[in-house]
Structure 1
Amino acid sequence: MDTIDLEKLVQKGYYVTLGATSSLIEVIQDPIKREENLKMLGRSLDEITQTLAEKGVTTEAEARSYVDSFISQQVSGKPTDNSDATGLTTVTTTAKTVDDSAPEKSDQKVKASMRDEIEELTQQLASLRSELEQLRSN
């Protein structure tokens, strides 16, 4: 099986799962949708999976739009009206200047502490060697 076929299969499975979940929620919440979804069960498996995959694509797009608008509202502090009309959302970001000298100082501290630790470990290793030699000689 090609990796492209496998990728398409996994993607379709993902969309079918989203569509099935969306349909299940509709069945629970809406009696009219319940009847429509129960009538769908009489169709062939290919038709059902195709319908669920299409519903999954739509559900993913709606969820993505909702999350984008939610993030946009959190960032800007105000609701966006144009995101629903165009389907696109603009997210404004800010950047801060990074002080390059601060990492040098912390790097020097880390190097010094590493050097001290290496010296301590070397001393421990030397004492273990001498202890091992003493045990071998006995």
Structure 2
Amino acid sequence: MQTNTLIQLLQQSFHIGVGATASLLETFQDPQKRAETLSQFHQQFNLQTQQWAEKGELTEKEARRILDELLKQQKNSDKTGVQSPSSSDPSNSNIESEIEELTQQVIALRTELENLRQSN
């Protein structure tokens, strides 16, 4: 890394810190600006929670679809008398671990969404 680049990076970091501090002080001192900033923050937070909720819903649907497909495959293999793959089969254990991971993600997203809804 060149010395000039490092100095420029440090200088830019310093300017960012000073600018952020000045903006924060201006916001605290001006009631109108404070209300505007809080309103923007609230809108952004609401938008973000809505996006998280949509993503959680899509993740849940995808997890359910995968689980339904696996159950359907298992039922079909049971009906045809074909023995289902054993748990020692690497592809089967990969699928099981993916299902477990997706299930945990859905649970975490639901919990986070409920917490966000309760805080609003």
Structure with the higher helix share, 1 or 2: 2
Give me the TM-score of the superposition, normalised by structure 1. 0.29
Determine which structure has more spread, i.e. the larger CA radius of gyration: 1
